[in-house]
């Protein structure tokens, strides 16, 4: 037992073998149990099963503790059929299952999405007079929440309290998450108050779910109150919490408050990620704060956060919408070009994205903004996307003009594009023939 607790499972196995070789001491199930437990915790389940078979071959009858470790280990590995076979073997050998066996199997079935079978086993367990514990209920409640059965989750939660199993933070967080996803924020907030009354403090996951839900339903005051309460409780917000609050504030054009939250992030030594910067840049562009948008862009680059397709799309959309002062237009345009240089692959991604969404004018603007020789890893692919996009939009004249531009740039058309273009317009045949390999 000491060896297994110290993680020296191989040594424990050697001593077990020596006991058999010596012949004076026959190992009993208590010798095997720590080894089974350790092997399963180390995810060496096949070795544990081999040892189990060897144990039976040596006429050592396994007890419920042996079965507990193996069944739980199999369930953790999502090998539910083997776990159920072992459970039946246990019953056939007159080893009475306990709460641990049933809870492990219910967890395993829930983990595999087998909700109905888990619930059926839960009823069998109760009918046998075995009282479910918090682990049993948590497995069922989490599974119900994940599969969108929030009503069942709430019923199980109430049943849990009636059974005397005290819900913990995992239970509350699961139900709260389900209520939030259903947009039932009023019920979720009531449940939070119940948490406090029961002496269960919400954790980071709980607060993040609630704040996200409140922000999405435009309940900014309540979201801010919870955020402040979270700080008062001494629970440190993570980048997900801050990003949610910043996104909500920017969506409401409350950019000054968003920047205050950003300052709080910096004070806490938290590293801003691409989501934080994109959200803030979007908020600044939306409120015509071009200087602040470009300052944030420069800051993200200095901090080593490279702009991605979303960053450039935000800036490009700002350029296309008009109403921007000429000086600001030049600065933002320069930032777009610089962003393309920093993250070359985003040029192709932007063009593909705009073409896919039928935004052909924006896709063409990306090509026009680029320094073709330096910025695009695969200019032929970009042109091909544009040509195909124009053809799908039935803008054949522009597709053919783009082909001419391709030829002027020395970009060869591939066979697929040539086949699509042939026969569209007789005048175009000369260009097509000249560009053919």
All structural domains of the chain with their residue ranges: 1-129, 131-191, 201-271
Q: Cβ(300)–Cβ(307) under 8 Å?
A: yes
- Roughly how many angstroms between the first and final C-alpha of the chain, as a whole number? 76
Give the tokens for residue 98. 């306990």
Taken as a whole, the chain contains a residue count of: 437
pTM of the model: 0.63
Query: How many CA atoms does the CB half-sphere of 229 hold within 13 Å?
Result: 19
Q: What is the pLDDT of residue 7?
A: 66
Q: What is the pLDDT of residue 430?
A: 47
Q: What is the pLDDT of residue 390?
A: 84
Neighbours of 395 (CB within 10 A): 15
Helix (H, G, I), strand (E, B) or coil at 44: coil
User: Could you tell me if residue 166 is left (phi over 0), alpha (psi between -120 and 50 degrees) or otherwise beta?
Assistant: beta
Q: What is the pLDDT of residue 343?
A: 67
Q: Cβ(265)–Cβ(295) under 8 Å?
A: no
What distance in Å separates the CA atoms of residue 261 and residue 248, rounded to the nearest whole number?
11
User: Could you tell me if residue 28 is left (phi over 0), alpha (psi between -120 and 50 degrees) or otherwise beta?
Assistant: beta
Q: Cβ(162)–Cβ(176) under 8 Å?
A: no
Q: Cβ(196)–Cβ(230) under 8 Å?
A: no
Phi/psi at 412 (5° precision): -80, 140
Decide which of 1.25.40.10, 3.30.70.3270, 3.30.420.40, 3.40.50.720 is the CATH code for 1-129: 1.25.40.10
Q: What is the pLDDT of residue 377?
A: 53
Q: What is the pLDDT of residue 429?
A: 46
pLDDT in tens, 143-154: 988 887 878 888
3-state secondary structure 404-428: HHHHHCCCCCCHHHHHHHCCCCHHH
Q: Which residues contact 208 (CB under 8 A, 6 or more apart)?
A: 238, 240, 241, 244
Q: Please provide the CATH number assigned to the domain covering 201-271.
A: 1.25.40.10
Q: Cβ(255)–Cβ(249) under 8 Å?
A: yes
321-332 per-residue burial string, b: 16 or more CB within 10 A, e: under 16 = eeebeeebeebb
Domains 1-129 and 201-271 share a fold: yes
Q: What is the pLDDT of residue 104?
A: 93
Per-residue pLDDT of the chain (437 residues; tens, 9 = 90+): 566 666 666 776 676 677 766 666 677 777 777 888 888 888 889 988 988 888 888 888 888 888 999 999 999 999 999 999 999 999 998 899 999 999 999 999 999 989 889 999 999 999 999 999 999 999 999 898 888 787 888 889 888 888 888 889 888 888 888 888 888 888 888 888 888 888 888 889 888 988 888 888 888 788 888 888 888 888 889 999 999 989 988 988 889 999 998 998 888 888 899 999 999 999 999 998 988 998 999 998 899 998 888 888 888 888 777 667 777 778 877 887 777 776 666 677 777 878 888 888 888 877 777 645 455 556 677 778 888 888 888 888 888 888 887 777 777 777 777 776 665 554 444 444 554 54
Residues 48/53/56/58 CA torsion (nearest 10 deg): -100
Q: Cβ(279)–Cβ(246) under 8 Å?
A: yes
Query: How many CA atoms does the CB half-sphere of 239 hold within 13 Å?
Result: 11
Alpha helix locations (H) across 182-252? 185-197, 204-216, 220-232, 239-251
């Amino acid at each position: 037992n000491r060896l297994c607790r110290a993680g020296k499972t191989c040594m424990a196995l050697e001593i077990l073998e020596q006991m058999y070789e010596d012949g004076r001491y026959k190992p009993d199930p208590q010798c095997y149990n720590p080894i089974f437990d350790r092997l399963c915790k180390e995810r060496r389940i096949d070795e544990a099963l081999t040892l189990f078979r060897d144990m039976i071959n040596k006429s050592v009858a396994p007890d419920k503790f042996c079965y507990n470790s193996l069944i739980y280990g199999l369930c953790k590995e999502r090998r539910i059929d083997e776990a159920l076979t072992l459970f039946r073997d246990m019953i056939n050998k007159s080893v009475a299952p306990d709460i641990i066996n049933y809870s492990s199997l219910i967890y395993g079935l829930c983990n595999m999405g087998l909700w109905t079978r888990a619930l059926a086993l839960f009823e069998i367990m109760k009918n046998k007079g075995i009282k479910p514990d918090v682990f049993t209920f948590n497995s069922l409640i989490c599974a119900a929440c994940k599969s969108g059965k929030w009503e069942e989750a709430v019923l199980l939660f109430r049943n849990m309290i009636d059974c005397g199993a005290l819900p913990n933070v995992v239970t509350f967080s699961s139900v709260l998450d389900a209520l939030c996803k259903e947009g039932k924020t009023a019920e979720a907030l009531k449940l939070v108050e119940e948490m406090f009354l029961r002496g269960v403090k919400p954790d980071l996951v709980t607060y993040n779910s609630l704040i996200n839900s409140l922000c999405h339903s435009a309940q900014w005051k309540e979201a801010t109150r919870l955020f402040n309460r979270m700080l008062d409780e001494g629970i440190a917000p993570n980048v997900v919490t801050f990003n949610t609050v910043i996104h909500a504030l920017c969506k409401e054009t409350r950019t000054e408050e968003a920047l205050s939250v950003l300052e709080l992030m910096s004070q806490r030594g938290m590293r801003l990620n691409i989501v934080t910067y994109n959200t803030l840049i979007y908020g600044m562009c939306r409120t015509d704060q071009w200087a602040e948008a470009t300052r944030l862009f420069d800051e993200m680059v200095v901090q080593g956060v490279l702009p991605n397709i979303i960053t450039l799309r935000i800036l490009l959309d700002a350029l296309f919408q008009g109403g921007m002062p000429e000086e600001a237009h030049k600065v933002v345009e320069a930032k777009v070009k610089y962003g393309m240089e920093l993250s070359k692959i985003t040029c192709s991604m932007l063009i593909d994205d705009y073409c896919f969404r039928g935004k052909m004018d924006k896709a063409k603007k990306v090509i026009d903004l680029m320094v073709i020789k330096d910025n695009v890893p695969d200019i032929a692919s970009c042109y091909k996307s544009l040509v195909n996009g124009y053809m799908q939009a039935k803008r054949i004249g522009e597709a053919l003009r783009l082909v001419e531009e391709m030829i002027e740039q020395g970009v060869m058309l591939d066979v697929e594009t040539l086949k699509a273009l042939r026969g569209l317009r007789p005048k175009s045949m000369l260009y097509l023939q000249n560009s053919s390999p």
